[in-house]
Amino acid sequence: MKSFTIDSDPNAKGFYVKMGAKLIGETPSTVFKNRLLPLLQYRV
């Protein structure tokens, strides 16, 4: 495995970015309709 993606809580996005993840887009929430979640990628 060279990388993995994270569907992040919007409030946790800053944490993942500080840990080295890159924002690559948005993904629809499966819990709340009409809400998009940050989609991040982390390379290992």
Locate the domains of the chain by residue range. Answer: 3-43
- Per-residue pLDDT, 17: 98
- Per-residue pLDDT, 8: 96
Q: pLDDT of 9-43, one tens digit each?
A: 999 999 999 999 999 999 999 999 999 999 999 99
Residue 40 contacts residue 10 (beta carbons within 8 Å): no
What residues does 25 pair with on adjacent strands?
A: 39
- Per-residue pLDDT, 34: 94
- Per-residue pLDDT, 10: 96
Q: Locate 36 and state its tokens.
A: 């998009």
3-state class (DSSP) for residue 11: helix
- What's the pTM? 0.88
